Structure 1
Amino acid sequence: MSEPVQPKLATAFGATAALLALIVLSVAWEWWLAPLRPGGSALVLKAVPLLLALPGVWRRRLYTLQWASMLILLYFAEGIVRGWSDRGLSARLGWLEVALAVVFFLCALAYVAPFKRAAKRAAK
């Protein structure tokens, strides 16, 4: 019989904190920090998919952490594009988005990995 998986709570906390920071960044960036148009931009809606993932990430649901780790790659790509192509504050916010996406991705994978290994062992 296999022993139960001991989840790494620090990685779950890191994923949750990075996701929350990315939501705040997305809203602040597109509403008032450096919107595409003065007065705000409809790109603020890019925070909605992150908000949909938040309850499951908060509750440390493996399925949510798995699909959110794939979703976060879109934010990583946007951050790279805007970091390279934008100027000034918007470029710096793009690089911050990249950093937060990487932190979320690594924390989510580190949290999920022991469960995946245990499931693989149990299947044998």
Structure 2
Amino acid sequence: MNRINTLHYASITSLIGLIFLCVAWEGWLAPLRPNGSLLVLKVLPLMFPLFGILRGKIYTYQWSSMLILMYFTEGAVRAWSDKGLSQYLALAEVVLSIIFFFSSIYYVRYCSKANKGG
């Protein structure tokens, strides 16, 4: 049971961290345009799974693990193409999305085993 709690909190922490990172990045740290960018709206899809993840809903974990791959891809592309602070923020996005992805799929795996009695 302790492993499930650890994975659950890792998912929560990485998802909330990714939300704050995206808002700060596109809002004022390194936006595409000097006064901020509408790219800050990329955070909206991350809000959809937030409450399901907080409640530990298996179905939310399943589909959000696929959603997070968009953020991994964006972070990888921008880490490769951007320079300066934006490049480091993109690397942070990659790390947070990887943490969320693996903690989500392992959370689903261990919860499924626990429910089957294995």
| Common fold: TM-score over 0.5 | yes
Deviates more, 1:64-73 or 1:6-15: 6-15
1:32-63 Cα offsets, whole Å, 9 max, x none, are: 00000011100101100101110000001000
Amino acid at match of 1:33: L
Secondary structure in structure 2 of the residue aligned to 1:38: coil
> Identical aligned pairs, as a percentage?
48
The aligned counterpart of 1:100 is 96
Displacement, 1:118? Answer: 5.9
Tell whether 2:39 aligns with 1:43. Answer: yes
Cα deviation digits, residues 40-96 of structure 1 (max 9, x gap): 100101100101110000001000011110000000000000000000000000000
Higher-Rg structure is 1
Cα distance in 2 between the residues matched to 1:53 and 1:45? 15
Question: How far, CA to CA, are the matches of 2:112 and 2:81 in structure 1?
Answer: 38
What CA distance in whole angstroms lies between the structure 2 residues aligned with 1:74 and 1:85?
16
Task: Give the residue type in structure 1 aligned to 2:110.
Answer: P
Give me the TM-score of the superposition, normalised by structure 1: 0.88
- Choose the corresponding residue for 1:65, options 61, 64, 77: 61
Aligned pair 1:18/2:17, yes or no?
Answer: no
Is 2:4–2:111's contact at 8 Å kept on the other side of the alignment?
Answer: no
- 5+ residue gaps in structure 2? none
Q: CA RMSD in A?
A: 1.5
* TM score, norm. by length of structure 2: 0.92
Partner secondary structure for residue 40 of structure 2: helix
CA distance in 2, matches of 1:40, 1:53: 25
Instruction: In structure 1, list runs of 5 or more residues that go unmatched.
Output: 1-5
